[in-house]
């Protein structure tokens, strides 16, 4: 069976190489790229990232990557967003201002500090509660733990998009699933066995 071609989007934000290392550890080949032709020709596209929403969108626009991302998603091929890569899929964010996102998922990115009294950022291990059936959860137990580092959270308008929730002062969407798009707020590549299993399921879906 032909191996899938996996593109990891390079847009100048952090965590790209650790995502690639996890993909390689799972036995898949990937390429870090910002080339629109390679993006279009890949079987799977991963949008990782660590950093601020506004800067992330600025980098995507500066590198002319918005249209290739949206075109790829429109093909129906698997798309995976990780951490900032999840948040950028939403319509807007209020991180250090107000910024427009990719608008793939209706909803908005909000600040924890506006709604909870707990320490921000939300950092460390926390569990997920699975909310909908999906092949990505094959072999993943409900209440499995994953590694989070974030001060903002995404709130989908359509609750049917929520694949899993996590509690941190409030219940927030930690996995969003919409058609061929799977996005997770935590870092699967830093989440040991459960995280690698989840990522592998996404890559094999």
- Catalytic positions: 83, 187, 189
- Of 101, 1, 11, nearest to 43 by C-alpha is 1
β-partners of residue 176 are 162, 183
Instruction: Lay out the sheet containing 30-33: strands in order across.
Output: 30-33, 6-9, 44-47, 79-82, 181-184, 170-178, 162-168, 129-130
Cα 21 to Cα 28: distance, rounded to the nearest angstrom:
10
DSSP secondary structure code for residue 175 in this structure = E
Counting Cα atoms < 13 Å in the Cβ hemisphere of 23 gives 27
Q: DSSP 3-state assignment of 108?
A: strand
DSSP secondary structure code for residue 26 in this structure = T
Cα 132 to Cα 5: distance, rounded to the nearest angstrom:
28
């Amino acid at each position: 069976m032909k191996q899938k071609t996996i593109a990891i989007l390079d847009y100048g934000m952090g965590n790209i190489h650790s995502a690639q290392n996890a993909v390689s550890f799972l036995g898949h080949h990937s390429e870090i790229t910002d080339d629109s032709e390679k993006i279009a020709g890949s079987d799977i596209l991963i949008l990782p990232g660590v950093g601020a929403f506004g800067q992330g969108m600025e980098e995507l626009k500066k590198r002319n990557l918005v249209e290739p991302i949206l075109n790829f998603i429109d093909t129906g091929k698997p798309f995976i967003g990780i951490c900032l890569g999840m948040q950028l899929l939403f319509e807007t964010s209020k991180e250090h201002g107000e910024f427009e996102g990719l608008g793939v998922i209706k909803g908005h990115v909000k600040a924890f500090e506006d709604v909870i009294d707990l320490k921000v950022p939300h950092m460390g291990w926390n569990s997920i509660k699975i909310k909908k059936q999906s092949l990505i959860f094959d072999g993943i137990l409900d209440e499995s733990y994953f590694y989070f580092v974030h001060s903002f959270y995404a709130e989908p308008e359509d609750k049917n998009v929520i694949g899993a929730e996590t509690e941190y002062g409030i219940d927030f969407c930690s996995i969003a699933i919409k058609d061929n798009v799977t996005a997770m707020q935590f870092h699967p590549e830093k989440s040991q066995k459960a995280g690698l299993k989840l990522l592998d399921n996404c890559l094999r879906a």
